[in-house]
């Protein structure tokens, strides 16, 4: 990991220190994804079968997972794993139900009631990657909020293995979260199928879930097409930023950094600390722990573009963190809540030495589908609200219109929208109401 001193850097140096690995949106990638999307739109299921053979190296007899496959998946799983999946699901459901938005009704003036009602998005599509490691936790994180929101149909796509089957734990997690249909599809072709529909895969209104560069590019392309589908958020490689003080455990800090570095070669981890001694200790500990990891080579590639940054104080560390806007922020300091109020941009925050980022990835109850690549400045992680539409409702009585009609008419006149104004003043005239006592009252009437 590269060692830097924040206060020794100029503006350009600071930008470079917080620069993320460049995301590939090359012309070749864009064109390749566009070709896949076009093929799926034009030829549907036959194109999906061909693309699965090409990219996932599997020959599919059927695209959709059937009941026998669900049953076989459940039977093959160890009871300890199934219990852990159910335990995690319980906590995720508990938190997301408690955090869900509620209907609102407010009288904003006498005789004027304004409401917000919630309606689920009709059909949603979930994408669960299965590249170098299957992710049943992602099925939980995406499926449970959709179930709580009440979506009419929940579709999930996950790549098949060479044997033509999806990961058993992913199927089990999908089933217990109430996913209605699962398809053995991966990559850009899965996104295209859910966005536009085929004979087998139903067209979805909104797509959710992480993925590689091809999946990300496909989501961006379908979301920019009026005939495509909305998406949860832009995505990038996984990342963590740790703020640690002199009292922090170097072993714990190193473990948290490595937990993200092992995700992929384009992941990024950053440590901010006012303690030079801690930075030294963590650098040694990272290498010691990395050597014993099964994914040590992947972690090494991620660490090559990661940073150990010395700052003047914890307050400055918070400023730097807000500038970076990390997906995951770990506050491994003596008094983490003292820093919490200053945090403005982060996908999810982990407080204290006993809160590793891993618990949020799996079973604390929060969601691990979070904004990356700086999007935490303006996006939030997936929640029940992500699967809902908020529809406003207003009801105005005759007295209510007398109360707010003049205000409406004045603003409509200021914007030179005469039909807007008359829609109000005609009603007021019918009520024999004087709009307002002003020299141009006759014009308003």
Annotated binding site for Zn(2+): 260, 263, 361, 420
* Ramachandran region, residue 300 (left: φ > 0; alpha: ψ -120 to 50; beta: rest): alpha
Q: Within 10 A of 122 (CB to CB), how many other CB atoms are there?
A: 12
Task: Quote the tokens at residue 127.
Answer: 């994408």
Query: Residue ranges for the binding site?
Result: 127, 189, 212, 238, 260, 263, 328, 361, 415, 420
- Rounded Cα distance between 39 and 31, Å, is 12
Binding residues for substrate: 238, 260, 263, 328, 361, 415, 420
Question: What are the structure tokens assigned to 41, written together?
Answer: 């739109």
Rounded Cα distance, 40 and 37, in Å? 5
Cβ atoms of 34 and 179 closer than 8 Å: no
Measure the CA–CA gap between 160 and 130, rounded to whole angstroms: 8
- Residues annotated as catalytic are 327-328
Longest dimension (CA), the chain: 84
Helices (H) and strands (E) in the chain, counts: 18, 14
User: Which run of H or of E encompasses 391?
Assistant: strand 388-396
DSSP single-letter state for residue 134: -
> Helix crossing, 276-290 with 250-261: angle to 10°?
50
Q: Kindly report the backbone phi and psi dihedral angles of residue 337, in degrees, each rounded to the nearest multiple of 5, phi listed first.
A: -65, -20
How far, CA to CA in Å, does 11 sit from each of 6, 15, 17, 321? Answer: 10, 6, 10, 16
Query: DSSP class of residue 341?
Result: T
Q: List the one residue out of 166, 171, 174 whose CA is nearest residue 146.
A: 174
* Long-range CB contact pairs, 249-252, < 8 A, 24+: 249/332, 249/353, 250/278, 250/281, 250/282, 250/284, 250/285, 251/285, 251/289, 252/332, 252/353, 252/356
Distance of CA 23 to the CA centre of its chain: 17
298 vs 192: CA distance, rounded Å: 29
Q: Show binding-site residues for NAD(+).
A: 127, 189, 212
In order, the DSSP letters of 4-67 are: EEGGG--HHHHHHHTPPPPP---HHHHHHHHHHHHHHHHH-HHHHHHHIIIII----S-SB--H
């Amino acid at each position: 990991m590269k060692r830097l001193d924040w206060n020794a850097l100029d503006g350009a140096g600071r930008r470079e220190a917080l620069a993320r690995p460049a995301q590939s949106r090359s012309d070749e990638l864009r064109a390749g994804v566009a070709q896949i999307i076009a093929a799926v739109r034009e030829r549907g299921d036959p194109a999906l079968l061909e693309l699965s053979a090409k990219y996932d190296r599997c020959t599919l007899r059927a695209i959709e997972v059937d009941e026998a496959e669900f049953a076989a998946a459940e039977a093959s799983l160890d009871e300890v794993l199934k219990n852990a999946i159910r335990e995690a699901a319980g906590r995720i459901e508990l938190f997301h139900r408690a955090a869900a938005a509620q209907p609102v009704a407010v009288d904003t003036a006498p005789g004027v009631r304004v409401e917000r009602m919630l309606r689920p998005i009709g059909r949603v599509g979930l994408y669960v990657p299965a590249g170098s490691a299957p992710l049943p936790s992602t099925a939980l994180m995406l499926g449970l909020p959709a179930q709580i929101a009440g979506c009419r149909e929940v579709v999930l796509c996950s790549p098949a293995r060479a044997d033509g089957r999806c990961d058993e734990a992913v199927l089990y997690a999908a089933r217990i979260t109430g996913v209605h249909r699962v398809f053995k599809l991966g990559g850009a072709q899965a996104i295209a199928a859910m966005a536009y529909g085929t004979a087998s895969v139903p067209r979805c209104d909104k797509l959710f879930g992480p993925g590689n560069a091809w999946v990300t590019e496909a989501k961006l392309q379908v979301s920019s097409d009026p005939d495509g589908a909305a998406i949860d958020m832009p995505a990038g490689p996984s990342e963590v930023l740790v703020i640690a003080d002199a009292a922090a455990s170097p072993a714990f800090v190193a473990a948290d950094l490595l937990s993200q570095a092992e995700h992929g070669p384009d992941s990024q981890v950053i440590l901010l600390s006012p303690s030079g001694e801690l930075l030294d200790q963590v650098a040694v500990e990272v290498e010691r722990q990395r050597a014993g990891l099964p994914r040590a080579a992947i972690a090494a590639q991620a660490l090559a573009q990661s940073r150990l940054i010395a700052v003047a104080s914890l307050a400055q560390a918070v400023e730097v963190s807000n500038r970076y806007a990390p997906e995951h922020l770990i506050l491994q300091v003596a008094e983490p809540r003292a820093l919490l109020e200053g945090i403005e941009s982060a996908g999810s925050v982990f407080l204290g030495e006993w809160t590793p980022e891993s618990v949020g990835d799996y079973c604390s109850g929060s969601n691990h589908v979070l904004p990356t690549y700086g999007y935490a400045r303006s996006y939030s992680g997936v929640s029940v609200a992500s699967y809902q539409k908020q529809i406003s409702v207003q009801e105005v009585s005759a007295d209510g219109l007398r109360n707010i009609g003049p205000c409406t008419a004045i603003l409509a006149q200021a914007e030179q929208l005469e039909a807007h104004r008359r829609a109000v003043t005609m009603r007021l005239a019918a009520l024999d109401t004087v709009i307002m006592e002003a020299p141009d009252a006759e014009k308003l009437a």
